[in-house]
Amino acid sequence: MRLLPIVRREYLERVRSRAFLIGTVLGPILMAAFTVLPSLLMAKQRGKPLRIAVLDEGGALRSVVESALATRQVDGRNRFEIRPAGAGAPEQVRERLKQAVLAGEIDGYLFLPRDALERSVAEYHGKNVSNVMDIGVLDRALDDAMIGLRLEEAGIGEARAKDVMRRVDLKTLQLSERGAREDRGASFFLSMMLLMTLYTTVAMWGAALMNGVIEEKANRVVEVVVSSISATELFAGKLLGIGAVGLTQFLVWSGFLLGLSLYGGVIAVMGGTKLPEIPVHVAVLFVVFFLLGYFLYGALYAAVGAAVNSQQEAQSLAFPVMMPLILGVMLFPMVLSSPDSALSVVCSFVPFWTPLLMFLRVTTLTPPAWQVALSIVLTLASVVFLNWAAARVYRVGILMYGKRATLPEILRWVGRA
């Protein structure tokens, strides 16, 4: 076996490349920037209270609503600053407030029609009405004020009313054999992040493998190599070499995450989100499913690369290879919302989807161990078969120049001795 020089060549050439450096180092930095920066910016912007005037047609609600808004706090600070609406006929006041909003003197005004309490309606007029969080706070403050008024009418005192209206603090806890742990959306975020990483890396390294094969075929170096090493060994060496590059990338990223969890507390607090921790079994299965996915799709990508003469030609043949991967991604929401449904379970057993969907199920609710094990075995069997077939296509394809092979031709190569 002469695998070692091949594996080493593939590995070193790629790890030393600029693309690897950019993808591995810059990737996480950009990702962090994209996830942390917006929440940082939002937190900063939230600091400035909204200047609001209350225009009450009836006049009975104003003081209650104003005090409800004035006392509403977010992150320990008052969220709203009450500005006087001014006196006069409602029509005139409205017009004045409108001008004030447009001139930027106030952020918006609340219009309470005469029958606001009876019909339980109100209007908020502002320049910016897409700040969902603030509108939510406003809505709740108004709710509390109105309900409080109705309770008072019903003869329930203010203190009692507050007690009655106390909100529920709903915590979500993820249950597993390892015990419950509190989860505030971090788990969902983590699932999606790991899944997208898995999808991206499998697709990326598979395509890298394909392009490498095409390139070596195009510059004819492959013939020199297969005159000393069998095509099957070359195939295996390339697959292993690039797989090792993928693992190296994960290693670097794990280092980043570790560093972030040690020194990143500051960032996390500023961003207002708790950093999710990755359980050991998830980390291990992540690597396992990456390898399964990479070897499964990588074999197909390599076969496509061997069957074509240029990257342009590869497009149409690479599409059927990408297809199951993309379909798998499209199934994410279905599996995420009901990871234990019959359909989800069945889909997660399809070898082409197992690396993505079974992993998704693992991150969301931890399916029975036998299901995970069985899916791994099934995928492994497919990996062995597909690599066997792809190696045969590769062996014939790398020395075929001229016109692009058709799919039936490629399938015939598999059968060729």
Partner 1 sequence: MNAALRLRDVTKSFSGHAAVRSLSFEVPRASVFGLLGPNGAGKTTTLRMVMNVFAPDSGTIEVLGGASDHAARDRIGYMPEERGLFPRMSLEEQLVFFAETKGSSRRLALERLPFWLERLDLDPKWRRRKLNELSKGMQQKAQFIATVLHDPELLILDEPLAGLDPVAASSMRDVLLELRRQGKTLVLSSHQMETVERLCDTIALVSRGEKLLDGPVSEVKRRHGRNTVVLAYEGDGAFLAGLPGVGSVSDFGRYVEIRLADGGDAQAILQAAAARLRISRFEIVEPSLHDIFVQHVKRHAAEAVA
Tell me how far apart the alpha carbons of residues 270 and 218 are, in angstroms, rounded to a whole number.
52
Of residues 85 and 229, the one with the C-beta less far from partner 1: 229
Q: Is the Cβ of residue 183 or residue 215 nearer to partner 1 in the bound state?
A: 215
- Least distance to partner 1, CB of residue 220, Å: 3
Distances, alpha carbon 245 to alpha carbons 15, 137, 206, 334, 355, in Å:
6, 49, 12, 32, 19
Please state, in angstroms and rounded to a whole number, the distance separating the CA atoms of residues 41 and 335.
33
Q: How far is the CB of 335 from partner 1 (least distance, A)?
A: 41
Quote the CA–CA distance of 204 and 298 in Å, as a whole number. 10
Least Å distance, CB 402 to partner 1, is 11
**In terms of DSSP bridges, do strands 80-83 and 50-56 run parallel, antiparallel, or are they unpaired?**
parallel
Instruction: Note the residues at the interface with partner 1 (CB under 8 A).
Output: 2, 4-6, 9, 13, 17, 216, 219-230, 399
Shortest distance, position 394 Cβ to partner 1, whole Å: 13
Distance (Å, whole) CA 229 – CA 210: 19
Helical ranges in 89-185 per DSSP H: 90-102, 116-119, 132-153, 158-164
Closer to partner 1 at the Cβ: 60 or 221? 221
Least Å distance, CB 5 to partner 1, is 4
Minimal distance in Å, beta carbon 242 to partner 1? 15
What is the longest distance spanned by two Cα atoms in the chain?
Answer: 96
Complex with partner 1: residue 225 or 321, whichever CB lies closer: 225
User: 13 vs 183, which CB is nearer to partner 1?
Assistant: 13
Dihedral Cα 128, 133, 135, 136, nearest 10 deg: 170
Q: How far apart are alpha carbons 32 and 36 in whole angstroms?
A: 6
Q: Which is nearer to partner 1, 13 or 81 (CB)?
A: 13
Length, in residues, of the chain: 417
Smallest distance from partner 1 to CB 204, Å: 19
- Cβ–Cβ < 8 Å for 202, 168: no
β-strand partners of 108: 52, 126
Closer CB to partner 1, 225 or 304, in the complex: 225
Alpha-carbon gap, residue 14 to 50, rounded angstroms: 53
Asked if 352 and 328 count as a contact pair (C-beta separation under 8 A), the reply is yes
